[in-house]
Structure 1
């Protein structure tokens, strides 16, 4: 059996820009992180990749002081339980330990293992045969896991490199032997890997797995950001990363108050799939009564000719019957009364009207949602424009502090647009009642105030209108912020009182 050195672990977080050789080292003097809070009562920490590694090491050490097994085995067990220390402890002491280690694919360190005997060569005494390359090596050039399967160092290195670099596997690399489920521990992987880049990639995979599996951790979703957020409990609350990105910890989307995560997910799926395409087809097309080809009416005449070359049926757009009985007049569907079915025709009209109404309703809310989203995408241009105006105002004998009201106005404008964007998702699924009417009134007030604020910020600033514009901007952004908070408070009150009723 291999000896497992307990003095291991994880140093570099997997920052793949480094090219130096690395070892896993524990830093016991890591500084404590201060809790932050974007929301009044929801505290969290922003962790760098080094902080994440140290947090992982601390979790492993904390558990290992109790279970007293090799650190790398502890890491594998924790990963198996998605880094839930309580579940691991409960299972470790209350369950069947043999079964636990088997499920986690770790050799039980408390039992003597009947390891596979080395494959000694009969041709070359004192050598072992590698079952991967089928070459003979001295025992010192062969190694393996506690399961006893041994291979040459070169084959191990090639096997691990392929798993890590090509397959992207880190925490669940199994023994190289056929059908052996035992996982390669971190110490062995780092000892056998030769290329520093592969080692760093392996560390990156282990660290990423730690964050992805841990329900109290979440990577910042902003592109190219390497920070993670650590919370004490999971809730749909806003968290702000050091990069400036604010998102919902529960779902990882941009902060989406007042709509809840489930409804937002439902909306995004509706926008992504083909449901609205189907609605448009149902509302604006019919099928040829002969070949069932889908046809769109592109003119005023109700005389339709199917363009399917193998069909070319002549039929009436209104009743879908053959065109010939309609006579030579422009349109007289009543001449087909012997074929007219009132119930069937009413059902068809009702179905098409419902599809058309559903499509129009969706487009109403979607267009407004997309309009605010588009405006937010120009946020950086707006800040740049305001920065120029602030510099211009300082040239009109205003101090740096005095012109900060413009940046404050843009901050509130962007907050209002983001809130408004998600109110249209909330409103789309909302059924009419007294509370929904109040919500729509609040939404309308905020919409109007936001557009006025946006208009003020786009005005030219001169020496003559400087004082007037400042006063109007300050008054308007304070009003906008107040209306936004009133809207959100009303929605949250409705959540608490269960006032909102949603459509199916």
Structure 2
């Protein structure tokens, strides 16, 4: 594509370099440029903007703010750092209040803008430490601008205890009686050893992230990244801010739990508490064995697929609803829906309690089943890695060509996670026309997931011939998930969903 400079001369009259080009051709090309120059992927309704920060980026971000406040207020870097941490990084509030009454702010924060001639480490003649009572002209001593001087060893012990045992960093005060003078990073570095100072810097980084609403540490074990996201706590009833860390872990920025799309954080909290309170029921319902509906033989579920075949009588049924499998995949499929009992059947308190329990068990059973299936699908993929190697050697496929199994496994696990939380979401939904639309989308996704799961469990000698079918089904399952999440997210944003509990 030609640049704007190639269309126009350097003159101000806007003449064309190519006289043969018609004006309307250029106008169309300019419009094309306008339409495509800033093209970027369209964000889906359930997606949020976020950014991943490394520990180095976090420190650079802090340093930039220190320098900005230092230049504006005429303070050194250490004092600017203390002020920012005291005000929890709210620069506008800090500048406004400091300009109004700097002396009051300095006193509250524990800094003195003026220098003190006896600060830092030095030797003082005839000095006696008031803490350990050691003396000697060769003793190294330390004092903050407040002038409270003690031996370096006492200060080192004090700071090490504060940092390593108490986990303090942002507001460590002088050891003097009732003194509020605060240590900055240069003071700490002058006294403690390298190991303690490294721990001190790590704690400062954590306070920087913890004090800012737009930042959250990735909860994955041993992960060093922080996520920045503009979604605020007050918005969590309208959006589920799912983010993906560079370490590969996907979680909710709002509550820090693992990905729970499409369920808002407040409903997740209520659901998990309800499951915990009904733990005995949950333990019973999540048992790994059930009885065949025909011959009552005990059957153990050992895969992610819900299509079960009794080895004794060969009856095919659904693990979730125990109904005939022949109905699954047809218009009669209703496994995801809960049919409310009529009011006549729930006239007394006992009947109402029973109906309430049945309704809860319906949703919990399906929630727990998808959670269990996701784990089994993941375990199955570990075994499938061997199948991929065998497939590669028997079919002549390259390692790249057998990656369709890897993609199918990831999509299965992702959709199981989504389906799991759709049942928590549905449990709190009020029954109306929108609920039926949601359940239809849920049903379509669930049926597609079961079909892909069945394909995924085929023997290795059949996998090569199923490549195209599995790739198509993987793409279809992904599209059904996107459709469900899009509709749910738009409903939350537009306040279309009505729940039987308050979202708080």
The CA deviation at 1:155 is 0.6
Which runs of 5 or more residues in structure 2 are unaligned? Answer: 1-39, 283-345
Residue 103 of structure 2 corresponds to residue 98 of structure 1: yes
The CA deviation at 1:408 is 1.7
Equivalent runs, 1:84-483 vs 2, <5 Å: 84-93=90-99, 95-104=100-109, 106-109=110-113, 126-138=125-137, 141-194=140-193, 196-231=194-229, 234=232, 236-272=240-276, 274=277, 276=278, 350-378=348-376, 380-395=378-393, 396-462=395-461, 465-466=462-463, 468-483=465-480
Is the contact made by 2:66 and 2:80 (CA closer than 8 Å) also made in structure 1?
yes
SS at match of 1:353: helix
The CA deviation at 1:467 is 5.3
The CA deviation at 1:402 is 3.0
Q: Provide the residue aligned with 2:3 in structure 1.
A: none
Measure the CA separation in 2 of the matches of 1:172 and 1:442: 53
The CA deviation at 1:380 is 4.4
Q: Render the CA deviation track for 1:138-167: whole Å, top value 9, x for unaligned.
A: 497322112221111111011111111221
Measure the CA separation in 2 of the matches of 1:92 and 1:412: 53
Q: Render the CA deviation track for 1:325-384: whole Å, top value 9, x for unaligned.
A: xxxxxxxxxxxxxxxxxxxxxxx9933333333333223322322222233334543332
1:502/1:66 CA distance change after superposition, 3 Å? same
Measure the CA separation in 2 of the matches of 1:269 and 1:171: 35
Measure the CA separation in 2 of the matches of 1:192 and 1:375: 55
SS at match of 2:460: coil
RMSD, aligned CA: 3.1
Q: Render the CA deviation track for 1:66-103: whole Å, top value 9, x for unaligned.
A: 1221211211111112222222223223x322222233
Q: Render the CA deviation track for 1:203-237: whole Å, top value 9, x for unaligned.
A: 21111111111222221111111122234665743
The CA deviation at 1:244 is 0.8
The CA deviation at 1:430 is 0.8
Is the contact made by 2:88 and 2:211 (CA closer than 8 Å) also made in structure 1?
yes
Aligned with residue 71 of structure 2, among 54, 62, 65: 65
Measure the CA separation in 2 of the matches of 1:261 and 1:427: 14
1:455/1:466 CA distance change after superposition, 3 Å? closer
SS at match of 1:254: coil
1:445/1:229 CA distance change after superposition, 3 Å? same
Is the contact made by 1:38 and 1:240 (CA closer than 8 Å) also made in structure 2?
no
TM-score for the superposition, normalised by structure 2: 0.69
The CA deviation at 1:502 is 0.8
SS at match of 1:151: strand
The CA deviation at 1:239 is 2.1
SS at match of 2:52: strand
The CA deviation at 1:173 is 1.4
Q: Render the CA deviation track for 1:114-161: whole Å, top value 9, x for unaligned.
A: 999xxxxxxxx9423322113334497322112221111111011111
The CA deviation at 1:108 is 3.7
Aligned with residue 51 of structure 2, among 42, 45, 49: 45
Measure the CA separation in 2 of the matches of 1:240 and 1:487: 20
SS at match of 1:250: coil
1:279/1:240 CA distance change after superposition, 3 Å? closer
Measure the CA separation in 2 of the matches of 1:233 and 1:260: 13
Measure the CA separation in 1 of the matches of 2:281 and 2:402: 50
1:441/1:471 CA distance change after superposition, 3 Å? same
Q: Provide the residue aligned with 2:18 in structure 1.
A: none
Of 69-78 and 474-483, deviating more is 474-483
Which runs of 5 or more residues in structure 1 are unaligned? Answer: 1-35, 117-124, 281-347
Measure the CA separation in 2 of the matches of 1:251 and 1:432: 27
Is the contact made by 2:242 and 2:253 (CA closer than 8 Å) also made in structure 1?
yes
Q: Provide the residue aligned with 1:343 in structure 2.
A: none
SS at match of 2:105: helix
The CA deviation at 1:42 is 4.2
Equivalent runs, 1:481-492 vs 2, <5 Å: 481-492=478-489
Measure the CA separation in 2 of the matches of 1:47 and 1:38: 23
TM-score for the superposition, normalised by structure 1: 0.69
Q: Provide the residue aligned with 1:9 in structure 2.
A: none
